[in-house]
Chains A and B, each alone.
Chain A
Amino acid sequence: ETGVTQSPTHLIKTRGQQVTLRCSSQSGHNTVSWYQQALGQGPQFIFQYYREEENGRGNFPPRFSGLQFPNYSSELNVNALELDDSALYLCASSLAASGGYNEQFFGPGTRLTVL
């Protein structure tokens, strides 16, 4: 069983640029959540995708957007990068089912540095 993978592992961008981060969910999972973890902080929820549609969003501006593909992999796009966007971006996949809790399995993250 393949776990959650993310690419790239590290990325350096300059302020104002755009970036795309990618996530492949664990085999059999249909839901992907994205989190931002700034240095010295806990992860903060950005949004979740289920069946290719956004299924909940945290307190992040519209320049943070995402996609989920038919194979349940996902992309996080950030436009007009700001210095404060520098962080570790974590992807988590889960299998959504009616009721109950669906455990989220995290990938290793992408470290984004904005200069």
Chain B
Amino acid sequence: AQSVTQLGSHVSVSEGALVLLRCNYSSSVPPYLFWYVQYPNQGLQLLLKYTTGATLVKGINGFEAEFKKSETSFHLTKPSAHMSDAAEYFCAVLGGTSYGKLTFGQGTILTVHP
């Protein structure tokens, strides 16, 4: 079975500051890992994904994440926050099944202050 824990339900940063959203996962098989962003009253948009290969993955809007197997982590970072980054972010894991069941974390709301 897979599970995802996002540390911190709310994160607040100043515009231009580093964004760090934490995600730890549990999976009995090599995982596929994802970060999604959700703006108010909208669906989920894929930011980036790790499937195989390079452990540092780059996504849209300047976000990146690093898969660390030894730490079972997949933290999301962005060097410089922008006001438009304010949203809710979800980490998700896929693995060990023959179909596409995504298991999501509880989400982290990112607030960006001017």
Contacts and interface: CB of A to CB of B under 8 A. Distances in A.
A56 B104 contact: no
A45 B103 contact: yes
B51 A106 contact: no
Contact of A103 (B4, B49, B105): B49
Interface in A1-47: 4, 31, 33, 35, 40-45
Contacts of B84: none
B97 A56 contact: yes
B101 A45 contact: yes
B46 interface: yes
Contacts of B56: none
22 contacts: A33-B100, A33-B102, A41-B106, A42-B92, A42-B105, A43-B90, A43-B104, A45-B101, A48-B99, A50-B99, A56-B97, A56-B98, A56-B100, A58-B101, A90-B43, A90-B44, A100-B51, A101-B49, A101-B94, A102-B100, A106-B43, A111-B41
Given A44-B104, A104-B100, A108-B43, 20 more contacts: A33-B101, A33-B102, A35-B104, A42-B4, A42-B92, A43-B44, A43-B102, A43-B104, A45-B101, A45-B102, A90-B44, A96-B100, A100-B51, A101-B94, A102-B100, A103-B46, A103-B49, A104-B102, A106-B36, A106-B43
